[in-house]
Amino acid sequence: MQNRLMTALVMGACMNVLGGVAQASTDQGCAAAPKPVVSLDHGSRYIADDSSRSIVDPTSNADVNAQLKPIDAFIRSLVQEANSVLAQKGDPAQSANCVVAQLAHWARADALSDLKNLTANFSVGSRLAGFAFAYAQVRPYANSTQEKRLIEAWLLQRAREQMAFWEEDATPGSKRGNLRAWATLAINLAGYLTKDDSALRWSAWSATFLQCQALEDGSLPQEMKRGKYALHYQLHAIAPLVVTTLLLERQGLSIRGVCDDALIRIVRFAMSDLETGEKSQAYSGKPQSYFDGSESLEKYQLAWLEAYLLLHEDAGLTKIANGLRPLSHSKLGGRQDLLWQAELK
């Protein structure tokens, strides 16, 4: 905790726990769901002729943000309401029914069904994970069986489409990277919620495959190609890999320890590189974004620590987590302490 990056992160830890979206008050009833997003057709955030995909195209980046912003805002709102259920704040049943009603509105519209290109398919995995986590938290408290079945069918359909995409249409490099890891998490959750064995087993295979990409030092080759964002994307891959591994452990499909404890090596590489970024720079050839002024490490990027520490004891990481708690990430279900104290049902 002595390095400047982690110190700055801890100093800012009290801000922006769930992204700043106001939670709908259950005292005032359930707000209407936002307009469902059915189609996505955005391009890449990065310029076309940059093989490292690390030079941002401002125009394209703005379009990506515009298309994804309403989805992400909805996820943050749902997760805040779902977390209030786990925390037993207000009327849990009322909050749960509100989350289910809002999600059912998107399910009826067949939201995210019209993904017009590769990059749209790349984006949807983490969003589906966020929706699935919000739903999983409230499902035991909600009353409407019909709406729950509708949501579950929608999540499973999106998961099956993602499985097909990653097997058949995704580019070779992307099949080994962080976006597939997020899709794997979403597919696992959809499989668990619907008792779909094919989705669960695909998620176990995919999470294993991705962890086994790690080199001996724990670096992920696909992420180390990403120029100044190499360390950023290693961390982005770690979050769904860790959480999927813990879910699989609890589901009786353990992959803990695969490929000579690859996950431990992946985590150690990233955390040890947060002091200077020199390890990632050696692979990518570029000073890392956390150290060149491009971006700051955000608290949510380490929210996976709660799940990791349930898989592996680590005194150093426990100390870091203690300095950052409560840890939260909307696409990982929000408040991690609440989520992992409860057993998803």
**What residues have CB less than 8 Å from 194, skipping those under 6 apart?**
152, 153, 155, 156
Burial category of 226 from C-beta neighbours within 10 Å (exposed 0-12, middle 13-18, buried 19 and up): buried
321/307 Cα distance (integer angstroms): 11
Closest CA to 57 of 70, 45, 74, 69: 45
Q: What is the CATH number of domain 38-340?
A: 1.50.10.100
Beta bridge partners of 56: 46
Give 149-174 pLDDT, tens digit per residue: 999 999 999 999 999 999 999 999 99
- For residue 245 the two structure tokens come to 């591994």
Residue 42's closest CA among 60, 15, 57?
60
State the pLDDT at residue 25: 37
Taking 90 as the threshold, does the pLDDT of residue 50 lie above it? Answer: no
Mean pLDDT of 309-337: 98
Query: Is 21 strand, coil or helix?
Result: coil
Stretch 179-185: mean pLDDT, rounded? 98
CB neighbour list of residue 114: distance below 8 Å, 6 or more residues apart = 38, 39, 40
Percent of residues, the chain, with pLDDT higher than 90: 83
Burial status of residue 236 (CB atoms within 10 A of its CB: 0-12, 13-18, 19 or more): buried
Query: 14-23, 262-271, 333-342: lowest mean pLDDT where?
Result: 14-23
What are residue 335's DSSP bridge partners?
Answer: 328
Q: What pLDDT is recorded for position 53?
A: 81
Q: What is the pLDDT of residue 182?
A: 98
Q: Is this structure's pTM higher than 0.85?
A: yes
CB atoms within 10 A of CB 171: 10
CB 324 within 8 A of CB 299: yes
pLDDT at res. 55: 83
DSSP state of 114: E
- Dump strand ranges (E) for the chain: 39-40, 114-115, 328-329, 334-335
Q: Vertex 280, ends 276 and 282: CA angle to 5°?
A: 100
Strands 39-40 and 114-115: parallel
Task: Examine the pLDDT at 29 and tell me if it is beyond 80.
Answer: no
CA distance 224 to 233: 8
Domain boundaries defined on the chain: 38-340
User: How far apart, in Å, are the Cα atoms of 157 and each of 27, 107, 154, 162?
Assistant: 34, 10, 5, 9
Kindly list the distances between the CA atom of residue 158 and the CA atoms of 35, 82, 118, 136, 184, in Å, as whole numbers in the listed order: 18, 21, 15, 16, 12
Lowest mean pLDDT among 6-10, 78-82, 106-110, 255-259: 6-10
Amino acid at the residue 97: N
Q: 112-145 in b/e burial notation, b at 16+ Cβ within 10 A?
A: bbebeeebbbbbbbbbbbbbbbbbbbbbebbeee
Residue 24, pLDDT score: 36
The pLDDT mean for the chain works out to 92
Poorest-pLDDT segment among 4-13, 170-179, 234-243: 4-13
The pLDDT score that the predictor gives to residue 8 is: 55
Q: Would you place residue 27 in the very low, low, confident or very high pLDDT band (cuts 50, 70, 90)?
A: very low
